[in-house]
A and B are shown apart, each in its own frame.
Chain A
Amino acid sequence: MTLLKKTVAELQTLLHNQEVSVKELTEATFARIAKVDGDVQAFLTTTEEEAFAKAEQLDNQPNAERGPLFGLPIGIKDNIVTKGIVTTCGSKMLENFVPVYDATVVEKVNDAGMVTVGKLNMDEFAMGSTTERSAFKQTHNPWNLAHVPGGSSGGPAAAVAAGEVLFSLGTDTGGSVRQPAAFCGVVGMKPTYGRVSRSGLVAYGSSLDQIGPITRNVEDNALLLSAIAGVDRRDSSSSSLAVPDFGAALTGDVKNLKIAVPKEYLGEGVAKEVKDAVIEALKVLESLGAKWEEVSLPHLKYASPAYYVIATGEASSNLARFDGIRYGYRPVDAKNLEEIYLRSRSEGFGEEVKKRILYGTYALSADHYDDLYVKAMKIRTLIAQDFAKVFENYDVVIGPSSATPAYKIGHLLNNPLTLYANDVLTVPVNLAGLPAISVPCGFTEGLPIGMQIIGKHFDESMLYKIAHAFEQATDFHTSTPTIGEGN
Chain B
Amino acid sequence: MTKFTKEDVFYFANFARIGVTDAEAEKFAGQLDDMVGFADILSEVDTDNVEPMTHPLQLFNVLREDVPTDILNREEMLKSVKDHEAGMIKVPNIL
Shortest C-beta distance, A350 to chain B (Å), equals 12
A43 within 8 A of B: no
Find out whether the CB atom of B39 lies under 8 angstroms from the CB atom of A378.
no
A308 in contact with B39 given A316-B16, A325-B89, A346-B19 (CB within 8 Å): yes
Find out whether the CB atom of B45 lies under 8 angstroms from the CB atom of A299.
yes
Distance, CA A382 to CA B57, complexed state (A): 14
A382 in contact with B50 given A323-B17, A336-B92 (CB within 8 Å): yes
A345 within 8 A of B: yes
Contact indicator per residue, chain A 77-110, by CB within 8 Å of chain B (1) or not (0): 0000000000000000000111111000000000
Find out whether the CB atom of A359 lies under 8 angstroms from the CB atom of B32.
yes
List A contacts of B2 (CB < 8 A): none
A193 within 8 A of B: yes
Distance, CA A105 to CA B76, complexed state (A): 21
A337 in contact with B91 given A305-B41, A306-B42, A416-B31 (CB within 8 Å): yes
Find out whether the CB atom of A327 lies under 8 angstroms from the CB atom of B80.
yes
Which single residue of chain B is at the shortest CB-CB distance from A193?
A: B56
Which single residue of chain B is at the shortest CB-CB distance from A194?
A: B57
B86 within 8 A of A: no
Find out whether the CB atom of B57 lies under 8 angstroms from the CB atom of A237.
yes
Find out whether the CB atom of A305 lies under 8 angstroms from the CB atom of B42.
yes
Interface of B is mostly: loop
Within 8 A of A (CB), among B27-85: 28, 31-32, 34-36, 38-39, 41-43, 45, 47, 50-57, 59, 62, 64, 72, 76-77, 79-83
Find out whether the CB atom of A357 lies under 8 angstroms from the CB atom of B16.
yes
Interface size class of A (residues with CB under 8 A): 35 or more
Distance, CA A165 to CA B57, complexed state (A): 33
Find out whether the CB atom of A354 lies under 8 angstroms from the CB atom of B18.
yes
Interface of A is mostly: helix
Find out whether the CB atom of B47 lies under 8 angstroms from the CB atom of A375.
yes
A349 within 8 A of B: yes
List B contacts of A295 (CB < 8 A): none
Which single residue of chain A is at the shortest CB-CB distance from B94?
A: A337
Contact indicator per residue, chain A 209-225, by CB within 8 Å of chain B (1) or not (0): 00000000000000000
Find out whether the CB atom of B16 lies under 8 angstroms from the CB atom of A432.
no
List B contacts of A193 (CB < 8 A): 56-57
Find out whether the CB atom of B79 lies under 8 angstroms from the CB atom of A98.
yes
Find out whether the CB atom of B18 lies under 8 angstroms from the CB atom of A100.
no
Which residues of B line the A interface, CB within 8 A? 4, 8-9, 12-13, 15-20, 28, 31-32, 34-36, 38-39, 41-43, 45, 47, 50-57, 59, 62, 64, 72, 76-77, 79-83, 89, 91-94
Residue pairs across A and B with Cβ atoms less than 8 A apart, 17 shown, are A97-B80, A99-B80, A207-B55, A236-B59, A305-B42, A320-B16, A330-B82, A340-B92, A345-B18, A358-B18, A358-B32, A365-B15, A372-B42, A376-B42, A378-B53, A384-B56, A431-B56
11 more A-B contacts (CB under 8 A) besides A100-B76, A421-B38? A308-B38, A309-B39, A327-B80, A339-B92, A346-B19, A349-B18, A357-B18, A358-B16, A376-B39, A376-B42, A384-B56
